[in-house]
Chain A
Amino acid sequence: MAVVSTEKIPINAEIDVVAVRRRVRELSAKLGFSLVDQTKTVTAASELARNTMIHGGGGQMFLEALNGPRTGLRLIFEDTGPGIPDVELALRDGFTTGSGLGLGLGGAKRLMSDFEISTRVGQGTRITITRWK
């Protein structure tokens, strides 16, 4: 598997969440994903970008187009915020520390092919989601 392209989008304000959605849509269309797959990826990206902004205090997203035996799109969300003390709890539907519905993390996981999270309290969170064709 090879990373064909990488780009970075800062996530510091609401308008950046819109930029994330737009760019993820463009790239997943370019990579030839179906409309439903594009929509799922953009929606997952929107949830995670909002988390990065609100809970992580800002951060960035990396977009990677993957090539090899399969075409893929990988999105990495990074922040240097407070981290998540209990990941299992945070993934549970309905769990929220903010004003949302608590569907963001678990929902994003359900919508994607792969979901990985690494987080350290006081240091930050990195979430990697991938969609394979």
Chain B
Amino acid sequence: MEKIPILRMGDLLLVTIQVDMHDRLAMALQEDLTQMISDTEARGVLIDISSLDIVDSFIGRMLANIAAMSRVLDAETVVVGMRPSVAITLVELGLSLTGVRTALNVDAGMDLLKSAVRGSSNGYGSRLH
């Protein structure tokens, strides 16, 4: 089965969705990412959806699920690169992606993620920053 690759960069995981997502692929990504956060102790996940020409309720739910699951695993998620036409459609569809952090592009997303990860590492066992 085809898979969406997940790249590791330090304590961050990067995903670029470049294929036309069918539902099973979306489910698989959700599971793979969650597993990988746990395996690599990643602190942040960046998902680039600039190649997606639609986000329907299923894909929207997947993004919300990933954000919620990674939060439970002590990682932050940022979704970047949503096309304006997709944003307009999503809101009209009734999906506001509550709980999902977004940024306009990869650069802004990385900044957001790095500051969020730094900000959340307090208490014992915190990383150097």
Contacts and interface: CB of A to CB of B under 8 A. Distances in A.
Interface centre among A14, A36, A43, A107 (most CB of B within 10 A): A43
A39 B88 CA distance: 9
Contact of A39 (B53, B58, B94, B95): B53
A42 B53 contact: yes
Interface residues of A, number: 26
Contacts of B83: 39
Main secondary structure of the interface of B (DSSP, over half): helix
Interface string B94-118: 1100000000000000000000000
A35 B93 CA distance: 16
A127 to B, nearest CB: 15
A101 B54 CA distance: 17
A100 B61 contact: yes
Contact of B22 (A15, A47, A106): A15
A40 B61 contact: no
Contact of B54 (A15, A39, A93, A104): A39
Interface in A62-89: none
Contacts of A22: 20
B54 A43 contact: yes
Q: What range describes how many residues of B lie at the interface?
A: 20 to 34
Contacts of B85: 35-36, 38-39
B58 A21 contact: no
A101 B63 CA distance: 13
B3 to A, nearest CB: 15
A25 B85 CA distance: 13
Contacts of B92: 40, 107, 110-111
B89 interface: yes
B22 A43 contact: no
Interface string A83-124: 000000000010000001101101100110000000000000
Given A35-B85, A43-B89, A111-B93, 12 more contacts: A14-B23, A18-B21, A36-B88, A38-B85, A39-B53, A39-B54, A43-B56, A47-B93, A50-B56, A101-B61, A110-B94, A111-B92
Interface of A: 14-15, 17-18, 21-22, 25, 35-36, 38-40, 42-43, 46-47, 50, 93, 100-101, 103-104, 106-107, 110-111
The 7 closest A-B pairs by CB, nearest first: A107-B93, A39-B85, A46-B56, A14-B22, A103-B57, A36-B85, A101-B57
